[in-house]
């Protein structure tokens, strides 16, 4: 893996990033072109939104579009979430991280590449450390084994509990679907969704 993906990202000064830095934060891990959080930021102006993406050109494009739209509650960061997440979350105002989405992550099909999948035990632990009690993690994928693996990772951590009794959510509980979600459903293919919440002490 290239060195720029191995080095943790430097955390921004949140007071300079967001007009209201104390607002609840929605973190989208693997945001791609960032259109999902772009729409969410317009709908929920009382939330801040942060997209993390490992492909730098997509982040540059997303931040440019954000600037053109003058959105003060949205920011994108180029980083590898698996080695930068704790550095970023540790600088947030405690309790502000209240919602996390991980949607249609790269499946890395080959077994030898499994360690590159974004939802690793370390990432789950870091989210458990910084997500507010009662905060939620929304997962979805169009590849069943990826969705199962993500759910297993969160289910194995004592801080999280799965909401609902059904195996998969039929509907997306958020007001904005991702581009991949729309394309998958237009083909009549299934989307595997689940929500976890952080339990109290």
Annotated catalytic residues are 106
Place of tokens 């989210």: 127
Cα distance between residue 198 and residue 129, in whole Å: 10
53 labeled binding residue: yes
- The strands making up 25-29's β-sheet, listed across from edge to edge, are 74-78, 48-53, 25-29, 97-103, 136-141, 192-198, 160-162
Cα separation, 61 vs 116, in Å, equals: 24
Question: Is 44 marked as binding a ligand?
Answer: no
142 marked as part of a ligand binding site: yes
152 in a known ligand binding site: no
Q: Which candidate, 101, 38, 20, places its Cα nearest to that of 75?
A: 38
Residue 110 annotated as lining a ligand binding site? yes
When computed from its CA atoms, the radius of gyration of the chain, rounded to whole angstroms, is 16
Binding-site residues for S-adenosyl-L-methionine sit at 28, 53, 80, 106
Binding-site residues for substrate sit at 110, 142
Binding-site residues sit at 28, 53, 80, 106, 110, 142
């Amino acid at each position: 893996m290239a060195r720029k993906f191995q080095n943790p990202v430097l955390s921004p000064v949140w007071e300079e990033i967001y007009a209201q830095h104390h607002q609840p934060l929605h973190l989208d891990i693997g945001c791609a072109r960032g259109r999902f959080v772009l729409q969410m930021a317009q709908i929920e102006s009382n939330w801040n939104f942060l997209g993390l993406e490992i492909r730098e050109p997509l982040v540059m494009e997303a931040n440019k579009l954000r600037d053109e739209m003058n959105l003060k509650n949205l920011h994108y960061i180029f980083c590898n979430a698996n080695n930068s997440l704790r550095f970023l979350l540790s600088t947030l105002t405690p309790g502000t991280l209240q919602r996390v989405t991980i949607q249609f992550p790269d499946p890395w099909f080959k077994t030898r590449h499994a360690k590159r999948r974004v939802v690793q035990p370390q990432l789950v632990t870091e989210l458990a450390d910084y997500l507010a009690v009662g905060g939620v993690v929304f997962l979805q994928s169009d590849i069943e084994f990826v969705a199962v693996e993500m759910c297993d990772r969160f289910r194995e951590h004592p801080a999280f509990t799965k909401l609902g009794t059904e195996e998969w959510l039929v509907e997306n509980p958020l007001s904005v679907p991702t581009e991949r979600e729309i394309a998958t459903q237009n083909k009549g293919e299934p989307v595997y969704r689940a929500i976890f919440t952080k339990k109290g002490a």
